[in-house]
C-alpha cells in the first residue's frame, strides 16, 4: 500500500509552484486548462482545482472565469511606510515601473477631500489620477488630491514630470511624510476592473493616506486601489 503522507493536491501544488519559481511559467502566463492538468497529473479535475485554489490563496495565480488560470504578475510585495515612493518600490522588487496618466485637472473638492486636506469646501484642488504598472501589468489606480491654493503651479509641474515627489519639489516642497494610512478591502467596479484588467467584482485593496509637510500641514490626500490578486502590501517599520 502506498500510504503517501502528503495529499495529492499538495504535491501538484508543489509541482506547479516550482515551475513558477523556476521561471518555466512567468508572470502573466496562462496555465494549462484544469482539464489538461488533470490528464497530465492523472487525477480528477477536482484535485487540480484544490491545488490551484491553494495557490490562489497564496496569491501565486489567479483564475478568471471563462479565461483560464494565470500566473500572478509576481507576488509583488509592495512596501508601505512613512514614505511611499512608487518607482523606488517597484524597482526594489526588480520590476520595471511605469505610469499612465488618466486625469489631470483642477476642480472643487468633495467633502471628504476637503476634510482630509483641512481646506474649505470652496477652495480648489488639483486632481492627479493614473495607473501604476510593473512590467507593463497594471498594479494599481491612484488618485492624488492637492490643495491648489498652496501649489498653484503643480498642475504644469505634474504635466511635464509625471512624478509626484519631483513635481512637489518644483513647487517648493522639499519633503513630506505620511501621517495617516487607512486600508480596507473592496470589490472592483466596472471602471476599476477595466483599468486594472481584472474582472468586475475582483478584490481590491484600497489604501487611503494623507501626506503632510514637516509642519504637519496636509499637502496630499491620496487613494490607491491595488489589485488584490497582484499586490501584497508589506508593512515596514521604517524610519
The footprint of DNA (CB under 7 A) covers 3, 7-10, 31, 33-35, 42-47, 49-50, 52, 63-69, 199
* Nearest to 218, CA basis, from 168, 170, 184, 183: 168
183 lies in the site for its own copies, by CB under 8 A? yes
Q: Could you say which of its own copies, DNA, none residue 9 binds, taking C-beta under 5 to 8 angstroms by partner kind?
A: DNA
* Segment 11 to 70, residues that bind its own copies, using CB under 8 A: 14, 57-59
| Cell digits of residue 119 | 481646506
Tell me the window of 26-34, 42-50, 77-85, 140-148 that interacts with its own copies (CB under 8 A). Answer: 77-85
Residue 160: CB minimum distance to its own copies, A? 32
**Among its own copies, DNA, none, residue 226 binds (CB under 5-8 Å by kind):** its own copies
Closer residue to its own copies in complex, CB, 54/102 = 54
Encode 152-177: b = buried (16+ Cβ within 10 Å), e = exposed. Answer: eebbebbeeebbbbebbebbebeebe
Angstrom distance (rounded) from CA 167 to CA 171: 6
For the stretch 120-129, contacts whose Cβ atoms lie closer than 8 Å and that sit 24 or more positions apart, written own/partner, are: 123/147, 123/148, 123/149, 124/148, 124/149, 126/151, 126/154, 126/155, 126/158, 127/103, 128/101, 128/103, 128/104, 128/158, 128/164, 129/101, 129/102, 129/103, 129/104
Nearer to its own copies, 22 or 237 (CB): 237
CB of 194 to DNA, least distance (A): 11
Does the protein bind its own copies through residue 100 (CB under 8 A)? Answer: no
CB nearer to its own copies: give 36 or 234: 234
CB of 156 to its own copies, least distance (A): 28
Q: Which residues bind its own copies (CB under 8 A)?
A: 14, 57-59, 77, 80, 82, 111-112, 180-187, 201-205, 226, 228, 231-235, 237
Amino acid at each position: 500500500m502506498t500510504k503517501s503522507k502528503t495529499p495529492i493536491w499538495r504535491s501538484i501544488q508543489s509541482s506547479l509552484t516550482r515551475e513558477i519559481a523556476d521561471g518555466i511559467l512567468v508572470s502573466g502566463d496562462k496555465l494549462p486548462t484544469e482539464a489538461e492538468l488533470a490528464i497530465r497529473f492523472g487525477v480528477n479535475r477536482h484535485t487540480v482545482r484544490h491545488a490551484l485554489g491553494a495557490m490562489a490563496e497564496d496569491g501565486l495565480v489567479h483564475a478568471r472565469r471563462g479565461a483560464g488560470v494565470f500566473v500572478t504578475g509576481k507576488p509583488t510585495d509592495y512596501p508601505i511606510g512613512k514614505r511611499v515612493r512608487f518607482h523606488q518600490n517597484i524597482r526594489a522588487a526588480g520590476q520595471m515601473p511605469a505610469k499612465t496618466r488618466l486625469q489631470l485637472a483642477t476642480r472643487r473638492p468633495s467633502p471628504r477631500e476637503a476634510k482630509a486636506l483641512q481646506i474649505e469646501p470652496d477652495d480648489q484642488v488639483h486632481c492627479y489620477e493614473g495607473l501604476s504598472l510593473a512590467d507593463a501589468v497594471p498594479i494599481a489606480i491612484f488618485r492624488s488630491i492637492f490643495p491648489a491654493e498652496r501649489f498653484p503651479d503643480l498642475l504644469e509641474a505634474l504635466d511635464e514630470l509625471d512624478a509626484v515627489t519631483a513635481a512637489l519639489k518644483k513647487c517648493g516642497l522639499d519633503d513630506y511624510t505620511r501621517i495617516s494610512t487607512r486600508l480596507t478591502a473592496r470589490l472592483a467596479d466596472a471602471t476599476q476592473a477595466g483599468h486594472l484588467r481584472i474582472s468586475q467584482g475582483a478584490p481590491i485593496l484600497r489604501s487611503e493616506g494623507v501626506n503632510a509637510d514637516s509642519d504637519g500641514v496636509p499637502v496630499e490626500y491620496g487613494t490607491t486601489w491595488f489589485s488584490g490578486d497582484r499586490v501584497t502590501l508589506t508593512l515596514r517599520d521604517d524610519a
